[in-house]
């Protein structure tokens, strides 16, 4: 029989591992289950990147694209496969106007992080096929639903040659929000290298009408870009911020200064394509 102190030590180790696994699953910045990019490692340039989740959705995505076009800003759209199938012309428009189209799962299920290997392989592959059929390019960036990550999710993304990208600053506008709150959360705390999360589209799993309203995001977006500009920050595409290709086999990386993580090859599945 094990001594009591050994039993206590084993229990403490198991508890610590369980806590780390939970944190690794739900914390957007954690690399517990696999490599995650949540902010540019090289923050010498005064750049940030706007990313939008849950699109495309008719009405809200159109308005976001209109505003970005008016302001001359290119962004990255992490799209849900279900919404891509419903509004394919919006995905074509994103690409035609110089934005990145990236993978944000097919179903965006709120509890799907507990699903297994085959399920996640299909979630990633199915959305990739839809995007590639529409714009002729396979995404190299993947963002899991709500930023939740597990070993099967990372395995599926890695098998598809994609890098998991989350965020460092969130507008928390996926549910109902006020424009003033969005600006307060995003403006003052944002600095060089930050990846900003906002929502242009509507999660197909949301049911409450008020959570499907993106008008606050749209009202805040122009003011946010202006406020960042006033602070000397420029919003650029995610591939420029990270120095990594946005699509499989893409050699036309926008970045002219290669960040440290790419120089060292720590993201070789994307950066060394």
53 is a catalytic site residue: yes
Q: Is 46 exposed, middle or buried (0-12, 13-18, 19+ CB in 10 A)?
A: middle
272 is a catalytic site residue: no
The residue ranges of every structural domain in the chain are 33-271
pTM above 0.75, yes or no: yes
Which of 42, 53, 54, 107 is catalytic? The answer is: 53
Integer Cα distance of 103 and 127 in angstroms = 6
CB of 53 closer than 8 Å to CB of 78: yes
Q: Which residues contact 181 (CB under 8 A, 6 or more apart)?
A: 172
The pLDDT score that the predictor gives to residue 169 is: 97
Which of 112, 199, 200, 269 is catalytic? The answer is: 199
Integer Cα distance of 96 and 175 in angstroms = 29
The fold of 33-271 is TIM Barrel (3.20.20)
Q: How does pLDDT run along the chain (273 residues), one tens digit per residue?
A: 556 554 444 444 545 444 555 665 767 788 888 999 999 999 999 999 999 999 999 999 999 999 999 999 999 999 999 999 999 999 999 999 999 999 999 998 776 767 788 999 999 999 999 999 999 999 999 999 978 889 999 999 999 999 999 999 999 998 888 999 999 999 989 999 999 999 999 888 877 777 788 999 999 999 999 999 999 999 999 999 999 999 998 765 554 344 444 433 334 444 443
State how far Cα 9 lies from the chain centre: 38
Q: What are phi and psi of 5, to 5 degrees?
A: -65, -35
């Amino acid at each position: 029989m094990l001594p009591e102190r050994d039993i206590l030590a084993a229990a403490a180790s198991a508890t610590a591992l369980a806590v780390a696994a939970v944190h690794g699953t739900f914390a957007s910045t954690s690399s517990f289950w696999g490599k995650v990019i949540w902010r540019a490692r090289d923050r010498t340039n005064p750049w940030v990147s706007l990313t939008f989740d849950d699109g495309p959705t008719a009405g809200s995505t159109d308005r976001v694209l209109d505003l970005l076009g008016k302001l001359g800003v290119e962004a990255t759209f992490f799209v849900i496969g279900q919404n891509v199938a419903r509004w394919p012309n919006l995905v074509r428009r994103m690409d035609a106007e110089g934005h990145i189209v990236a993978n944000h799962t097919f179903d965006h299920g709120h509890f799907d992080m507990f699903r297994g290997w085959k399920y996640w392989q299909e979630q990633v592959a199915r959305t990739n096929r839809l995007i590639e059929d529409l714009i002729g390019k396979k995404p190299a960036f993947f963002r899991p639903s709500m930023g939740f990550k597990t070993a099967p999710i990372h395995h599926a993304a890695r098998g598809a040659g994609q890098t998991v990208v989350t965020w460092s600053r969130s507008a928390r506008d996926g549910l109902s929000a006020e424009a003033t709150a969005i600006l307060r959360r995003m403006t003052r705390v944002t600095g060089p290298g930050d990846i900003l999360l906002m929502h242009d589209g509507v999660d197909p799993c949301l049911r409450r009408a008020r959570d499907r309203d993106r008008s606050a995001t749209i009202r805040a977006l122009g003011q946010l870009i202006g406020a960042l500009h006033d602070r000397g920050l420029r919003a650029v595409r995610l591939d420029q911020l990270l120095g990594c290709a946005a699509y499989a086999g893409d050699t036309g990386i926008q970045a002219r200064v290669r960040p440290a993580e790419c120089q060292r090859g720590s993201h070789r599945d994307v950066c060394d394509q």
